[in-house]
Structure 1
Amino acid sequence: MLDLSVIILTKDEELHIDRCLKNVSAIAKEIFIIDSFSTDRTLEIAKRYPNVTILQNKWVNNYAYQFNWGLENAPITGKWVLRLDADEYLLPELIEEIKEKLPDMPENISGISFNRRHIFMDRWMKHGIYPVTLLRLFRFGKGKCEQRLMDEHIQIDEGENICFENDFCDHNLNNLSWFCHKHVNYAVREAADLIDIEIGLTGAAQSDEGRVINTQAGSKRRKKHSYARKPLFWRSFAYFLYRYFAKGAWRDGKEGFIFTFIQGWWYRTLVDAKVYEIKRKCGNDPEKITRLLREEYGVSL
């Protein structure tokens, strides 16, 4: 058993939670589920695992807040903390790599990144977006989730970040209707994030100076800042073309087209429509935009 604590956020995850817990319970000495008052069998399933502790906290439409609440309130004793979503799991090769390398990790290493595979309609989306490299494993007390509306990463306060060779998977088992609805919910937060980059609602999205995340995340953040300044609607179409043709998502068959169309064009167009809607009502007035987001969409900056 590794000196490892796992934090998993849940809300009605009965479809995934058993797979997730079975995957990590053999290597983690403790697992903390931070639950947003699930109404399905999520907690019933989780209670079957002896090394699982359940804490409940109200969801306030902010992943970073909920994760950091878990860091501050869970009785964590592990030297290392792994952030994992309920619909994710570590591949066997990554588990072996963690078991081999983590016990002897040099003290100057505070964060470890993994490559994430998207499994969509039971097929690995091997082109177009892979690999997405995310900092998911960090020394307790040295890291937290950065406070952003979207694309929040683990940032470490000191030390270095390295990347392991093997992958973990994002493999959601819900249907396409659920997938689309999730992106509808994301769209207004993504729109707010892009407006923040463009005109500065909070300042948080305008500068990432001093934040240690990982090389790919930093590059992606810079590209997002560039994307935010491109023309509405044209940019979403160009992004789809880039992923589908230049990055080769067409090689992943029908599933690759559906995934790239929904996530890379439809969703991005919806985000632009939200930006257009918000600016149509508020112009570029930060105070009016902030009030509209709070009162109409329940998004607090």
Structure 2
Amino acid sequence: MNQPTLAVALIVKNEEKHLADCLNTVKDWVDEIIILDAGSTDRTEDIARQYTDKFYVNSNWPGFGPQRQLAQTYVTSDYVLWLDADERVTSELKSSILEAVQTHPLDSLYKVDRLSSAFGQFIKHSGWSPDWLVRLYPTKLTQYNDAMVHEKVEEPRGTKIHKLQGKLHHYTYDSLHQCINKNTKYIKIWADDKEGKKKSSFSTALVHGFASFIKMYIIRLGFLDGKRGFILAWLTMNNTFCKYADLWLRSSNKDNH
């Protein structure tokens, strides 16, 4: 009986800084690497083609979920492992992935525990860890949902979900500037998606913002992550306030016209 095949799939844009380090952790033990680019203007394509000839471009951005769905159409392997360019597969996780694929259950999804760093430090509390995400599954079994942002793998009824051993290291923010820029993009995407579907108000924005700080810094023990934990909680409070405030302003401005 033939061994099941395994693909790694990524959606990327302007990832020249991270892409090689990510692909170096999988290049020797997967059967294919699928990369769908959203219109990079840096050296992303040049780097990607050093690892795979399965490089595709869709610069007409449909949102994260639909972009992943499109990328999966290029996968020919039995299993697909999803990574982001700023992630690294550890040796223990690699062994667990290969073991899962070799047992080849067609009704199972696999979660990985992602350990994220911010500003040069792994964040072990703050609601960031543990961070279990479905990232490995039989290609024909399922796919990502249609969400524009914070997309998730659909879990068909009757499927089993297993946890893999080992960590997926995630290098999120090198600098505060990078963090703020990324969060600003997510705020707009979220508000675009919720506009007309969800109501907000100025007080709602205040309450959600303040509550997010308490939840992250106190309830989820962000104070144990030191000064970086405080910074992340404060940024989360600001981001949450801005999301709901943006949504309120949009509807308020319409009412005033």
What is the TM-score when the length of structure 1 is the normalising length? 0.76
Amino acid corresponding to residue 244 of structure 2 in structure 1: D
| Contact 2:111–2:134, Cα closer than 8 Å, also in 1 | yes
Partner residue in 1 for 2:79: 80
Partner residue in 2 for 1:165: 165
- Give, in whole Å, the separation in 1 of the partners of 2:197 and 2:208: 15
| Contact 1:125–1:252, Cα closer than 8 Å, also in 2 | yes
Amino acid corresponding to residue 70 of structure 2 in structure 1: W
Amino acid corresponding to residue 143 of structure 2 in structure 1: K
- Give, in whole Å, the separation in 2 of the partners of 1:10 and 1:106: 29
Query: Does 2:147 correspond to 1:123?
Result: no
- Give, in whole Å, the separation in 2 of the partners of 1:69 and 1:32: 11
| Contact 2:205–2:242, Cα closer than 8 Å, also in 1 | no
Gaps of 5+ in 1: 200-226, 289-301
Equivalent in 218, 222, 238 of residue 266 of structure 1: 238
- Give, in whole Å, the separation in 2 of the partners of 1:41 and 1:108: 39
- Give, in whole Å, the separation in 2 of the partners of 1:45 and 1:82: 20
Amino acid corresponding to residue 80 of structure 2 in structure 1: V
| Contact 2:107–2:141, Cα closer than 8 Å, also in 1 | no
- Give, in whole Å, the separation in 2 of the partners of 1:178 and 1:128: 20
- Give, in whole Å, the separation in 2 of the partners of 1:91 and 1:2: 21
| Contact 1:243–1:260, Cα closer than 8 Å, also in 2 | yes
Partner residue in 2 for 1:68: 69
| Contact 2:6–2:101, Cα closer than 8 Å, also in 1 | no
Partner residue in 2 for 1:89: 88
| Contact 2:12–2:36, Cα closer than 8 Å, also in 1 | yes
Cα deviations by residue, 1:166-192 (Å, 9 ceiling, x for unpaired) = 321221354321210111111122234
The CA deviation at 1:148 is: 1.4
What is the TM-score when the length of structure 2 is the normalising length? 0.88
Partner residue in 2 for 1:239: 212
- Give, in whole Å, the separation in 1 of the partners of 2:168 and 2:197: 30
Q: 1:82 to 1:260 in 2, by over 3 A?
A: same
- Give, in whole Å, the separation in 1 of the partners of 2:169 and 2:59: 27
| Contact 1:10–1:34, Cα closer than 8 Å, also in 2 | yes
Amino acid corresponding to residue 218 of structure 2 in structure 1: F
The CA deviation at 1:52 is: 4.7
Partner residue in 1 for 2:26: 24
Partner residue in 2 for 1:53: 54
Equivalent in 259, 268, 276 of residue 248 of structure 2: 276
| Contact 1:90–1:167, Cα closer than 8 Å, also in 2 | yes
Amino acid corresponding to residue 169 of structure 1 in structure 2: H
1:128-139 to 2 correspondence within 5 Å? 128-129=126-127, 130-139=129-138
Cα deviations by residue, 1:11-57 (Å, 9 ceiling, x for unpaired) = 110000001110111221100110122121111112222x4521111
Taking only the aligned residue pairs, the percentage that are identical comes to: 24
| Contact 1:59–1:66, Cα closer than 8 Å, also in 2 | no
| Contact 2:79–2:138, Cα closer than 8 Å, also in 1 | yes
Query: Does 2:11 correspond to 1:9?
Result: yes
| Contact 1:117–1:170, Cα closer than 8 Å, also in 2 | yes
SS in 1 for 2:97: helix
| Contact 2:205–2:240, Cα closer than 8 Å, also in 1 | no
Partner residue in 1 for 2:110: 112
Cα deviations by residue, 1:115-150 (Å, 9 ceiling, x for unpaired) = 211111121110011112111111111111111122
Gaps of 5+ in 2: none
- Give, in whole Å, the separation in 2 of the partners of 1:59 and 1:256: 36
SS in 1 for 2:154: strand
- Give, in whole Å, the separation in 1 of the partners of 2:142 and 2:83: 15
SS in 1 for 2:216: helix
Q: 1:140 to 1:250 in 2, by over 3 A?
A: same
Amino acid corresponding to residue 53 of structure 1 in structure 2: K
- Give, in whole Å, the separation in 2 of the partners of 1:196 and 1:103: 47
Partner residue in 2 for 1:43: 45
